Structure formats: C-alpha cells, structure tokens
Structure 1
Amino acid sequence: MKSQALVGSAISTLFLALVAAHVAPSSSEAKPTIVSTAAATETLSVQSSDVELESTLDTTPIRGANIGGVFLIEPFIKPSLFDQFLSRNKEDIPVDEWTFSAALGKAEAKRQLEEHWNTFVTRDHLESMADSGINWIRIPIGYWAFNLTADEPYVDGQVPYIERVLEWSRDIGLKVELDLHGAPGSQNGYDNSGRRGVPEWLHSRTNVDRTLDALAKMTQIAVDWSDVVYGIQILNEPSRWKWEVKDIFAFYNEAYDLVRSIAPDVLFMIHDTFLSPKDWSTLVAPRWTQALMDTHIYQMFDNYMVTINETAHIEMVAKMAEDVMKFDKTSIGVVVGEFSAATHDCTKYINGLGRGSRWEGTLEGIADHPLCPFATCSCTGDYGSNPAEFSAHYKRFLRNYVDAQLAVYDQELAGWFFWNFRTEGAPEWDYILGVEQGWIPSFPRTAMPKLNESSAIVFDDAPTSHEAKSEAGQGKYQLAKSMYGIVVTLGIVVATTCYFLFSL
C-alpha cells in the first residue's frame, strides 16, 4: 500500500506540474506584459474561471492624462487646425470649435474633424502612457456629440471614435472618465467650452435641459462600457464668476439624480467652479455617494504667478494645496483633474487665439507691459515651443516642479490627470513628450486588462501592429485556455483511474 501511495503521489505531482506548465508560460514563452508577479496567483485563477481580474488598482491613486483637444478642439493643443485661417482679417479668424465649424461649413468641418479624430489620439499613445504608469484617462467631450440642433455650426459623429478609444482602453487596461466639457450656451465663455465669448448656459432652461440630455446619453455610454468607464464628470469648469453658486449646485443635484437613475455605481465627479476649498461644501450634497471633487491647479493664468522665480513656483505648490489638504474628504474625495508643467503663458494660443501673453505684455485687457521673473521677457529658448532649445537647468526645474506637484496629488489625494496627453508645440503641456524628455517621472505600470474572453491580452512577442497584437493576444490566450482544458480533462481521467486501481 505504501508503494501504491507513492505512485499516486507521483502521479498527482506530475499532474499538477502539467497544469502549471500550461497555465503559466515559462520565461522563454510569450506572457502578458501587464501581469505583475504580485498578481500571478490571481491571474491563474482568472484564466481557469473567466472571473474578472480587479488587481490592486483600487488602492492605486488615479494617475491619469487628459485626452483633450480631440473631441472638443482647442487652439493651443493643435494650432495647425486654426492657422489655416491666419490670412483672413482678424475678426474673421476662428477662435474655437464653434467658429471653426462655421468658417468651414458642415461638410468641410466634418471632413477635417474626422481626420483629426482618427489620427490625433491613437492606440500607440494610450499604450505609451500605460507603460509609463498612467492607469486612467479623462476624455473631454462637447455636448454637440449627443445633442445638436440644425441651427448650430458644430458637427457630430464623435461617438464611434470615442468608443474606439474605449475599446483600446479595455484592451490596454485603462480606466476612463467621460467628461462633459462643453454645455449649450457655454458654461464659462472659454474656448475650452467650444464657444468663446459671453456665456449663456444658465440663462435658459432649454440650455439646462439640453445639457442634461447630453449627460444622459454620455452616461448611457458608461453603462454600455461599464468595464471601462468608471467616472462621469457632469460638467467641466462652470464658472462661479458667471453664475450664482447656488444655481450651479442646483444643476449638480439635478445631474446627480439623472446619472444615478442610469448608472447607480459610476463615480459622480463635479468641478469646484473655481471656489476656494473652504467653500467646496456648498457644492456637495450629503446624500451623494461615490463622488469626487475635481480641482484644476495652474500657476500661469495669473499676473502675479508668472512673475515669481522657480523656487517660488515649487514652494507655491504646497501653498496652493494647503486648503485642499484641509478639506474634509470623508464625504467626497478630491482629484486634481488638470495641471501641467507650465509656469509661463508663452505657449501659442494658451490664453486664446489672438490674445497674446502676460510674459511679453501683449495679453489684451490684462497686461500692458511684460510680466516675468527677469529683467527682459522673451518667449524663446526655455520659454519657447521647441524642447530641443531647453537648457539642462530648465529641464531640471521642470522635473522638480512636476515632482513637487505629484508629491501632493499622488500621495495625499485620490489622484490626478495631467493636461494634456499630447500637444502640437506646447512642451510643458505634453505628457508623452515630458516622459520622453525626463521631466515627467514614470510609475510602475498598473493598467491591467481584464483576463477574459471579451478583452484582448497583449503579448511581448506579438506583431507591432496593434490590431495584430489584439488578435495574436486573443489567439494565444484561447490556445493556452484550450490546452489547460485538455490537461485538466486528462488529469481527471488519470486521477480517477489511479484511485480505483489503488483502491483494489
């Protein structure tokens, strides 16, 4: 009987070894690039049961980048879209998406924007960011993607391109926040709302109803893509300087009920309307659950801040975050939804197309003389658009400045979203460029795709084409899963046979 037991033990050991060999590839075989050693045990159980892998992402801060300037264009992010009009008289040059579309007409605007949607953000960009530690993206969208009237110059058709980004995010393992970035009538009068000028959003109940309709349709996307979309920002930067805070809060409450009626568990995200953190409680209802406050922290849209030196900028990070740290986060968390590496406003069109800069004293209605930390101010060299001209000293400053911000946003708050994922000639605003150049640090990769049949797995040795990667990943996963099933079946047969033989 002892020899029988030894034989049975040997067979059992052999069986377990066979199972392990087929479930976990050896170091010489292709393996998912996103599965960490710590998650290996969880991964094995997922592959055998198709249970969704949540990993340790829930305890990891939001480390995000904005996919801005794509589905709502801004002149400073891609100036070439607007430079085509510079030969016109100043009053005829488009300054936002509204006037851009009106200047081109529906057909040509649709053609140019579809090309832009198709090329400005790619899967390569998302994978590059995930490799450097990004685990979330925030996608700004204008209301006209969901609710467009015939008398408006905007064009729609963005949704299929947005859903393509969601599909890439699912494959790569990125979580997504959908952000309603522009409301009918404009909620702030900035070009980032789609329409620069005098805001009219809350002047009309029709505007509010259309905003809610767009929000409902955007929230439905969150439901349809619930394994990818984890957050809904109901409106970006409604301005407290334009509207009474109580009226903005009334909209927030109405939007909360709407979102919760469609998506009960999605993160409900609001903007602080540029209020001081000590007043944020006026924007929050105690009944809200799963809510986040979004605050945007910049140091260049202010006449004083552009005049302070590099040391003062770094010290200002802690000073600006002090009240945020004091805010009671028991009812609502805080995320820095926008920040950058910029401390000057030299960036082309950053204050709006045709408006100039504080740095050189050309910002209309704001600065009639140069405002900078030096005796003379020039938007060249370290403060120009070409990173090849940046000095080693300036690059070190950028790294120290970004590190100072992340020390707070990454460690003390719910997380952050850098503005922006990429730009066309705005180096301090370009996350991908900043990582490449070294002034933005990389984090361990925490974006982890779900290991089930509805999501592709990307393998190290797959073809370079991302579509091919997805197909190869799915094929290898299915092969591994099939082999696993064969081994399990054979093992059960062998184990059962041995059991009856040794029982005789």
Structure 2
Amino acid sequence: MSRLADMGTIRGTNIGGVFLIEPFIRPSLFDQFNTSTVAELPVDEWTFSAALGKAEARRQLEEHWDTFVTRDHLEEMAEYGINWIRIPIGYWAFNLTADEPFVDGQIPYVERLLGWAQEIGLKVELDLHGAPGSQNGYDNSGHRVSPQWLYSRINVDRTLDALRQMTQLAIEWSDVVYGIQILNEPSRWKWPVSQILEFYNEAYDLVRGMTDDVFFMVHDTFLGPNDWGQLVSANWTDALMDTHIYQMFDNYIITLSESAHIDMVATMAENVTRFDRTSIGVVVGEFSAATHDCTRYINGFGRGSRWDGSLEGVGHPLCPLATCTCTGDYGGDYTQFSASYRAFLSRYVDAQLGIYDELAGWFYWNFRTESAPEWDYLLGVQQGWFPKFPRTAEPLVSKEEPEVSDIGSASPAPPSARRLRRAALALGAAALLAVVV
C-alpha cells in the first residue's frame, strides 16, 4: 500500500515569502529603496535583485533565508497542531542563467528546513512557485511582468528541469517530503487551459518517472470546481487539486458585510466539496483571515486598495462602511483591533476550517509576516482568532547518520550524498552532481 494512503487531514501553513520574497510579507526588504520615480521602485524579487546587484542582493537574501523562518517557528506550529508545511521556491534556486538578476543559493537553507521538519515530525510539500518568464505576471512568481512562460519552449524546458531537481530533492528527503506542487497559479487568462494541461501531463510523466511516493499536486488555475475536469488526466495516481480561496481580490466581495463574508465561505466552497474525490483529492493550498485589501502591498508594491479606493482603476472606496480607511481594525497594527473585530476573525476562520477539514486539508497563507496580522498564522493563534489543535506531528527517524549543518556552523561534518549534491546545486557543478545522483 502507498504510504500516501490514509494520511489523515492535512493541517498546514505556507512558508511563503522566504525563498521567493513578496513585498507584503516582508515590506522592510522593499522599504529600503528611495528612487526618484515610482516606476524605478523594485516590486518583486527580480527587480529587488537588479536594483541591489548580485553581491548585495545575495548578502541581504542570505540573511533573510537564515533568519525569517527558524526551527522555533516550526516547533511552535507543531505544538499548535500543524502537521504539514508548504515551501514555495522559485525556479532560479535550481536553474539560473547568467543574464537573470536573481541569485541562487537557497537549497542549503531549504534542506536545513527539511532537517528541522524531520526532527519535529512535520510533513512537507515542495512548491515550484515561480517559472521562467512568469506563469502569471504576479510578484508571487518572482517577476511582476506580462507573463511569457508558455510562449517559449525554452521556458517550459527550464521549468521541467527545475521540477526534476525539486523531485530529486524530494527523493533524497523521502521521509519528509510527501508532496510536490508542480507550479503555483499558472494563468488561465493568458493561455488556454488545454495548453496548461499539456504541461501538467509532461510534469506528471517527469515526476512519476522518478517516484511514485509523493502526492502530485496541481493548481486549479482559478477555474471553478465544475471545470476542474479540464485540468486532470484519468491516469494520474495520488494526485491533489490545489485551490486558493480568498475574499479580498474582487471588487464585489470587498463590499460585503462581515456576516456576508462568513456566508460566502460556504458559497465559495460548495462546488469544491462536490468535486469527485475518487481519483483526485482537494486541498485548499492558500487561504487567510483577511476580508479586506488594506494590507500594505497586498495588491503589489506601490499599489493601493479597493477598500479605500486608492487602487488604480477603482475610482472610489468599496468598503461596506460609512468611512473607508485603512486604520484601526483594517490597519497593520493588531493591537488596535477591537474586540468585535477579533471575534469576527475567529468566526471567519472557524467557518473556513469547518469546510476545509472535510477535504484533504489546508495550508494557511502565511506562517508569519512582518505587519499583516490577518495573514499571520502564528500571530493568529497567539491572539486567539486561529484555533489550536492536538499535536499530531511526531519526530521522524533519520535514514542516515546525523550531520552537522554547514550553515552557521564552525564544525563541518564529513560530506554525505545530500551535502555533496547541495554543494553541486549551489555551485552549478554538473560533474559533481553526476557523481551523487
């Protein structure tokens, strides 16, 4: 029997904004820039790295990778009842060309995170979050630009190469990695669904040609559940459909009252729960406690909000209140939240979990932020609007001798296959990679 059988409910968090930075998760990385025009401001990891240059970008990002997520964060989440984490990674961690401004070097930190997950007992989903040319044009792809991904076979081949290396990483950490998401949020508005399915099938053949021992996970491209059949193939095994459910990126939904937002949870999830799960399960890979878009940079660096009417193209405030300001309950300081708003957040989260727990499970976005309270899982539990569950994560036994991390350690251990491959990926040393793969 597959080890994936009878897994129980996934209760996870996203480790977002670490190995692919997003302005709203860590705005301090972007607030450092002072340019003469808004057009020159970095808005994503591509322009962030280009503005700083590779040496300084590497220095700042290595500090970020080293400190923004820690073992203590993972242990705390496990104590609160989290049993999975989803780790978004950009393609450039695996496949970077000299003409791109990105910097690589993420993999040793990813492996350190996998080691912590192993020690704590968390299962892991590896998520290819950004593809060459951008699969959706959002900053969460690493490059906020008109999407070019599927226009180039070179882009597709590079995406598959990154996925191959990610799958190899999953195989080497098979006691920890239980899922691979082949690509986050490819845009059905840019390319026909049939072309996206072609990529999905290529990716399936690649992953299953290497391992049968992970969930094969695909995103729904924001199609409604009634149309998900266009995105799956009958021969897939151990597959999960990933859907992201948010209530703040729509001009109509932003106008709803608190009670209407809670009612909307069931409306938005109704067809999700009806999807035929005999061949493919459903996981809500992203959701949050937010029902407004006041969060700084949530619509992208330098952009405003629908809530107060400052978002380009909106023209007037859309919030359901007499005064639409991004302060108090709708600001970035949770200490200013009223008791009634905190109670609403709790009811809204409970309404979502009541449905998502009946699916394959869920991953909250995000595990933490700098100043986006409704998007911060750890803060939500600490402040009482996200519930705790009994701890189910149990420490796993390593399949190889313990090794001392080469990150921040003065006592290096003898090189293992994992460590040799880690060096090969970081240095781009194809010859060394061939020795250990």
TM-score where L is the length of structure 2: 0.90
Q: CA deviation at 1:450?
A: 2.2
Q: How many residues align?
A: 403
- Asked if 1:434 is matched to 2:383, the reply is no
Task: Name which of 9, 13, 20 aligns with 1:65.
Answer: 13
Equivalence for 2:418: none
- Give distance in 2, aligned partners of 1:453 and 1:233: 24
Task: Name which of 126, 131, 150 aligns with 1:178.
Answer: 126
Q: CA deviation at 1:57?
A: 10
Equivalence for 1:424: 370
- Give distance in 2, aligned partners of 1:339 and 1:86: 33
Q: Give structure 2 stretches of 5+ with no counterpart.
A: 405-437
Where do 4+ consecutive residues of structure 1 move more than 3 Å? 54-59, 451-456
The residue identity in structure 1 corresponding to 2:241 is: M
Equivalence for 2:351: 404
- Give distance in 2, aligned partners of 1:91 and 1:55: 50
Q: CA deviation at 1:60?
A: 2.6
The residue identity in structure 1 corresponding to 2:367 is: F
User: SS state of the match for residue 444, structure 1?
Assistant: coil
- Give distance in 2, aligned partners of 1:259 and 1:85: 41
Equivalence for 1:76: 24
The residue identity in structure 1 corresponding to 2:106 is: Q
Equivalence for 1:112: 60
Contact 2:4–2:214 (8 Å) recurs in 1: no
Equivalence for 2:420: none
For residues 260-409 of structure 1, the aligned pairs below 5 Å read 260-365=208-313, 367-409=314-356
Contact 1:57–1:446 (8 Å) recurs in 2: no
Equivalence for 2:44: 96
Equivalence for 2:361: 415
Q: CA deviation at 1:58?
A: 4.3
- Give distance in 1, aligned partners of 2:113 and 2:397: 19
Contact 2:4–2:213 (8 Å) recurs in 1: no
- Give distance in 2, aligned partners of 1:125 and 1:167: 14
- Deviation string 1:304-338 (CA, Å, 9 cap, x unpaired) is 11110010000000000001011111110000000
TM-score where L is the length of structure 1: 0.78
User: SS state of the match for residue 267, structure 2?
Assistant: helix
The residue identity in structure 1 corresponding to 2:243 is: T
Q: Residues 258 and 57 of structure 1: is their aligned pair in 2 closer, same or farther, counting only changes over 3 Å?
A: closer
Q: What is the RMSD computed on CA atoms of the aligned residues?
A: 1.7
User: SS state of the match for residue 130, structure 1?
Assistant: helix
Q: Residues 56 and 278 of structure 1: is their aligned pair in 2 closer, same or farther, counting only changes over 3 Å?
A: closer
- Give distance in 2, aligned partners of 1:329 and 1:302: 28
Equivalence for 2:178: 230
- Give distance in 2, aligned partners of 1:187 and 1:67: 20
- Give distance in 2, aligned partners of 1:452 and 1:376: 56
User: SS state of the match for residue 351, structure 1?
Assistant: coil
Q: CA deviation at 1:355?
A: 1.1
- Give distance in 2, aligned partners of 1:455 and 1:417: 31
Q: Residues 85 and 300 of structure 1: is their aligned pair in 2 closer, same or farther, counting only changes over 3 Å?
A: same
- Give distance in 2, aligned partners of 1:132 and 1:86: 40
The residue identity in structure 1 corresponding to 2:324 is: C
- Deviation string 1:470-491 (CA, Å, 9 cap, x unpaired) is 99xxxxxxxxxxxxxxxxxxxx
Q: CA deviation at 1:376?
A: 1.3
- Deviation string 1:353-408 (CA, Å, 9 cap, x unpaired) is 1110001101112x100010111100000000001000010000000000000000
User: SS state of the match for residue 167, structure 1?
Assistant: helix
Contact 1:338–1:418 (8 Å) recurs in 2: yes
The residue identity in structure 2 corresponding to 1:443 is: F
User: SS state of the match for residue 138, structure 1?
Assistant: strand
The residue identity in structure 2 corresponding to 1:429 is: W
